[in-house]
Amino acid sequence: MKIEKGSPDLESEVIFRDLCSHCGACGASCVKHIQYGEDGIPVILDSCNETVGLCYNSCPRTGFNLSQLEQKMFGKNREDELLGVYSEKILVKSGNSNEILTNLIPVCMKSTIAMSSFMMKS
């Protein structure tokens, strides 16, 4: 079913919300109104007059409801915009940023975090 939305809707609902997956579907369907920046993000050159925009309807991220997906996957919505959905926060002190993962691994191995994450993915 074609959705009656066009390039302004694609911009506001996907591109400006950082949901673009850089797949190129929108640009492939509309070479006249869409180009890509150096970062791979689509740039809408001008709004077209299409009420049923091919760019919008070809985008896999339109209609992407993040909170609904999180609710189905984790049984709750995100508590923190940056961290997303999590079960526990762990503070790991490190001298520099290159040591964070190295210091986090022993903490996870001593707790049930590593095991529960592994079990969820299996």
Beta carbons within 8 Å of 1's beta carbon, 6+ residues apart = none
**CATH code of 47's domain:** 3.30.70.20
Same domain, 73 and 114: yes
Q: Which of 58, 76, 100 is the last residue of a domain?
A: 58
Give me the pLDDT at residue 107, please: 74
For 14-34, the pLDDT digits (tens) are 898 888 988 989 888 887 788
Indicate whether 2 belongs to any domain. Answer: no
Q: SS3 for 77?
A: coil
pLDDT at 122: 44
Are 72 and 115 found together in one domain?
Answer: yes
Residue 43 main-chain phi, psi, to 5 deg: -120, 120
First to last CA, the chain: 35
For the four alpha carbons of 61, 37, 82 and 94, in that order, the dihedral sign comes to: positive
Pair (25, 70) in one structural domain: no
Domain range for 15 is 7-58
Domain contains 1: no
**pLDDT tens per residue across span 45-78:** 876 777 678 888 889 888 767 778 788 888 888 8
**Weakest mean pLDDT among 6-10, 87-91, 92-96:** 92-96
Tell me whether residue 96 is in a domain. Answer: yes
Q: For 5-22, what is the mean pLDDT?
A: 88
